[in-house]
Amino acid sequence: MLRQLFPHKKKDLKLSMMKDILIRDIKQQLRDVEAADLWIDENFEKKLSQVDDTTAFERPIPEMHSMAELASHLIEWRREVLSRLKGNPRGLEMSDAANWRNNNELRKRGWESLMQDLHTAQQDIISFLEGKDDTFLQTTYPHAVPSFPHDYKYLLTGLIHHDMYHLGQMGITIKFLKIQHLIR
């Protein structure tokens, strides 16, 4: 009688619970860095809310990027990773002007537009990953250079690392803006 009610063996149940654990974790990390209560006690929502449409374009010192430049850089790489996840050839390169747009160009877009684009770029990746499973992560990116073949998991974990790196950079930029009394 019990077998009829619960036909799954323990092993089958355990496997179904572990199914697609990697892709679910990656999607959750992409969501978390945006606005979750992370162990590091920081996320993009917290950082970006500390600047406005004036201070976002300020470079605290000439050698340091503004918050707008950092946000634009993140947008470009999120879009690039999504394009690569769709199997497209590499588009953005480190030396491209789009990699680091200047404040004059970014002011024309506006801070609110940059914030919306940053959020949308992340949501587009998460939406694309819906319905994908862990085998997708193991798929080799078809346009990788022959000397460095890699899979989609590599691209996604790299994107998460990239986001976290620049989240920290934003924290430093904000500290310098506070020192100069440009923000509270």
State yes or no: pLDDT of 18 exceeds 90: no
* pTM of the entire predicted model: 0.88
DSSP string of 13-71?
A: HHHHHHTTHHHHHHHHHHHHHHHS--TTS--HHHHHTT--TTGGG--SSTTS--HHHHH
State yes or no: pLDDT of 20 exceeds 80: yes
In a domain, 5, yes or no: no
State yes or no: pLDDT of 34 exceeds 50: yes
In a domain, 59, yes or no: yes
Q: 141-175 burial, b for 16+ CB within 10 Å, e for fewer?
A: beeeeeeeeeebbebbeebeeebeebbebbeebbe
Is residue 35 within 8 Å of 149, Cβ to Cβ?
Answer: no
In a domain, 163, yes or no: yes
The pLDDT score that the predictor gives to residue 92 is 84
In a domain, 17, yes or no: no
State yes or no: pLDDT of 10 exceeds 60: no
The domain total for the chain is: 1
In a domain, 184, yes or no: no
Type of residue found at 184 = R
In a domain, 32, yes or no: yes
Q: Mean of the pLDDT values across residues 95-119?
A: 95
Domain holding 155, by residue range, is: 22-179
As a whole number of angstroms, the distance between CA 138 and CA 47 comes to: 33
State yes or no: pLDDT of 21 exceeds 60: yes
Residue 129, Cβ neighbours under 10 Å: how many?
Answer: 20
Which of residues 175 and 8 earns the better pLDDT score?
175
State yes or no: pLDDT of 2 exceeds 50: no
